[in-house]
Structure 1
Amino acid sequence: MKILFVSESDRFNDGCGQMLLTGSELRSRGHEVLFALPGTGTAGRRIAAAGFPVRDLRIRHDYDLLRALKLRALCALERPDLIHAHHPRAHAVCLLAKSLGASAPLVVTRRIIFRIRRNPFSLLKYRSRRIARFIAVCAAAKNELVKAGVPERRVEILPSAVDMGLYDAPRQAREALRFAPPFRIGIIGHHAWHKGHEVLLEAARPILERFPGTVFVFAGRDTEKLRRKAAVLGLNASVEILGERADVPELLAGLHLFAMPSIQQGLPYALIEAQAAGVPAVAAGVGGILDVLLNEETGLVVPPQDSGKLAEAVIRVLSDETLARRLAANGLERIQREFSVSVVTDRLEALYQAVLRP
């Protein structure tokens, strides 16, 4: 197969990471993968550095006619068997290109769980029969598509993939980590209201009373904004705010527990990474977290926005090394079984083949 991946993303975000990871796996299986996205951004440069053809396409908005015409011309030149749009504006412009004559079947991935607008243009974008298949990364994302009028038969849940090999060394390092105070509890992800970073800060005091010296680690874009909240709560000495980091596997290797107290959440890639690294997890039971974490089996699930319950669950895990190791081992096994890049690409390949042979 010849597959064209399309994105408007200039920055190398999680979605672009998935494009590169699954694209690399598809290429290793003999498929031809090319990319259309901003060629000079960090995403385009990183993908090109991996040896993929990158065609510069700078999508400005959903109704970018010039880029739709450029995409149609690219399809006429490259003749891909299939187009796969990976981000919202790419979805709209790929659909517009198809209405202008691009003939390859279109697959669209939706990674977010926010409510789809009900205006006529948005509904047309999602209900169009020109879209052969939607990929939803979690059940909550699929539910939003179906509520917007997409026939359920045209939506398949396919999670983000993880390269397990990246976590072999950190996992081995964690196995040598002494499970004893002072503990390190981490949350990795950009700061936004729905990520619940403040909930973990609010849970810190009872955790510190039970385990003095515990350190709370925050890594991700804009986490510097948490400094004021930490100061107000008197937690400066107990908090490490690291900002955006590229060495996530190594950071995970130094954690005793991973926390994800989200208020809203799509598929939680940071949680998948933590489980791949063998870190026990406590998380809020919202959105795509429930696709990853099985309560009492692969982690502990707590109500969202409840710092008291979060603190109780954290203390429970840190008080019981046997429980912590059981949750971590079960989580690792499930990630290997359902989220590894080979497994996810098997399913993606099958979906492509089904689209091409309806």
Structure 2
Amino acid sequence: MSSKRILHTINEFSLDGTGITAVVLELILGQVDAGERVTVLCRSSDSDMRDMLREHGVKIIEVGSFRRVLLSCSVFGRLRALVKAVDIIHVHTSKSMICVLLAAPIHFFRHSVATIHNPHQHSTRVMWIAHRVVALSGVQAGDISKQTLGFVRPAAIPNGILGGYRVPMNVKPKASNLPNLGDNAVLFVGGLYERKGLDILVRAMQLVLQTVPNAHLFVIGNRDRPAIETMVTDLGLESAVTFLGFRKNPIPYMAKANVFVVPSREEGFGNVLVEARAAQVPIIASDTGGIPTALSGGRAGILVPVGDFRQIAKNIIAVLTQPSFAAELRARTRDGIEQFTVSHFVAAYEKVYESVQS
């Protein structure tokens, strides 16, 4: 069987720790290993990403601005030729999709696949017009089908990041690489904006400290939301909360933490949950969006109602004070983890691509 020519489109494509970027890169590298010819169209990238793609024979086209592409006849013409020459147009963001749609609309409608990475963003609804739509969970796929009265029936493919370039199937960080988080370490990894729910976890920590005074919350994520740090100060929790800033590889911290918490209000999937499962750390997470899928229906962690900081606190206390319960949760992290491998991920998308070409 001859190799396919695949075009992936995305806004920014840099090795910056962004969840979408990490997943798309795993898919691309897996496709290259399978013999496919892959090109990436994006607004911008960085030298690390360009070097990695070049090493794997992937062509990357940076246009600077999608608007510029549409306003320049010569650039637009080259884009049209590029789009019409590929077998699959795989779009990951709405803005990049509109660009290739306008360049070659008929070819787009016949050969496009759209992955809805951020279902909470209303702008992604325009991506439902692709020939095939992919959701990150069965719940998300059902929501899209319901909202479109059944006209769009997405495939459900959870993100696959294990066994790829970044996260091995069995995480065993060297002892020298493990950070010292002390006893009773609670870990959060993610953006500090409201959707990720760090404020909910901070309120939970108020209750945790009443029972486990030496519990400590470590926060990994860009320190670009001063409001949450002000909240910690106002609640008098400065000595119990440490903001570590961005970490390119949070897995050693997961391996060292006593419990990992994802208190999101909304979540398309949650790659960090799969990473935490690979690190075998007990997990507590909100029962929303794709989180139950990332936790194999809740078997691999504890699900709590969205915003319920009391339930989060109750479960953190249980993990920190009951060694047998913590051990049970660690063991459960491996239950069904195989479905999140890169090989499984690439194979699932291959079936979607085949349906587009048939």
**TM-score between both structures, scaled by the size of structure 1:** 0.85
Aligned to 1:146: 145
Alpha-carbon distance, 1:224 to partner:
5.7
Are the equivalent residues in 1 in contact too, given 2:189–2:220 (CA < 8 A)? yes
- Confirm or deny that 1:20 pairs with 2:19: no
Query: In the alignment, residue 133 of structure 1 is paired with which amino acid?
Result: R
1:302 aligned partner: 304
On the 8 A contact 2:161/2:340 being kept in 1, the answer is yes
Match of 1:72 among 71, 80, 90: 80
SS in 1 for 2:219: strand
Aligned counterpart, 1:214:
215
Instruction: Give the deviation of 1:241 after TM superposition.
Output: 0.3
Find the aligned partners of 1:105 and 1:57 in 2 and give their Cα distance: 22
Question: Counterpart amino acid of 1:85?
Answer: V
Q: Residue 28 of structure 1: CA displacement?
A: 1.0
Q: Residue deviations 1:247-281, cap 9 Å, x none?
A: 21222122111001111111111112111211110
Given that 2:83 and 2:100 are in contact with CA atoms closer than 8 Å, whether structure 1 keeps it comes out as no
CA distance in 2, matches of 1:173, 1:324: 22
1:253 aligns with 2:255: yes
**Matches of 1:75 and 1:39, distance apart in 2:** 18
Residue equivalent to 1:5:
8
> What percent identity do the matched residue pairs reach?
22
Q: How does 1:213-292 map to 2 (within 5 A)?
A: 213-222=214-223, 225=226, 226-292=228-294
In 1, the alpha carbon distance for the partners of 2:108 and 2:297 equals 46
Alignment check: 8 A CA contact 1:188 1:218 kept: yes
Deviation at 1:348, TM superposition (A): 1.0
Residue deviations 1:301-324 (CA, integer Å, cap 9, x gap):
111112111100111222222222
Give the 3-state SS of the residue equivalent to 1:84 in structure 2.
Answer: strand
- SS of equivalent residue, structure 2 residue 40: strand
Per-residue CA deviation, residues 125-168 of structure 1 (Å, 9 max, x unaligned), is: 4454xx22011112343244324427466411111111346346
Partner of 1:132: 131
Measure the CA separation in 2 of the matches of 1:17 and 1:152: 30
Secondary structure of 1:216's counterpart equals strand
| Cα gap change, 1:329 to 1:208, in 2 (>3 Å) | same
Tell me what 2:352 maps to: 351
Match of 2:284, SS state, is strand
TM-score if structure 2 supplies the norm length? Answer: 0.85
State the alpha-carbon separation in 2 of the partners of residues 16 and 314 from structure 1.
31
Secondary structure of 1:301's match? strand
Residue 111 of structure 1 pairs with residue 112 of structure 2? no
Is 2:24 the counterpart of 1:30?
Answer: no
Work out whether residues 193 and 225 of structure 2, in 8 Å CA contact, stay in contact via their aligned partners in 1.
Answer: no
Partner of 1:192: 193
Residue 157 of structure 1 corresponds to which residue in structure 2? 156
Greater CA drift, 89-98 or 26-35: 89-98
Amino acid at match of 1:267: F
**What is the rounded CA distance, in whole Å, between the counterparts of 1:268 and 1:46 in structure 2?**
27
Corresponding residue of 2:317: 315
Q: Which moved more, 1:162-171 or 1:187-196?
A: 162-171
- Separation (CA, whole Å) in 2 of partners of 1:214 and 1:260: 17
Residue aligned with 2:334, SS: helix
For these two proteins, the number of residue pairs brought into alignment is 343
Q: Mark the runs of 5 or more structure 1 residues left unpaired by the alignment.
A: none
Structure 1 residues 90 and 186: CA distance shift in structure 2, 3 A: same
1:94 is matched with 100
